[in-house]
Amino acid sequence: MEPAKTNYAGVAVVAVVGIIIGAAAGYYLGYDKGWESAVAQAEADQAAQGAVNPYADVETNPLEGVKTNPYQDVKTNPFE
């Protein structure tokens, strides 16, 4: 009685085809879920950013509302 010969090439082809089909199915089925969660996370981050920023209403120029003209009361002709 001879031992049964195993067809290693056939097993390898089936394994490679299975891996390719599995990777394609995982990519196709998981792509939308990842995109939706990323969009939801970005929206949540943007909403939280506006609520947390304590410097949103701070004036950066302390002289913004001051009306000054250094040339208002200057004498241009001293002989008048």
Encode the chain (80 residues) as per-residue pLDDT tens digits. Answer: 566 777 788 899 999 999 999 999 988 887 767 677 788 888 888 777 666 666 767 777 877 778 877 777 777 777 77
pLDDT for 14? 94
- Give me the residue label for tokens 């506006």: 50
pLDDT for 52? 64
pLDDT for 15? 95
- For the entire predicted model, the pTM comes to 0.39
Please give the torsion angle defined by the CA atoms of residues 46, 50, 54 and 55, in that order, rounded to the nearest 10 degrees: 90
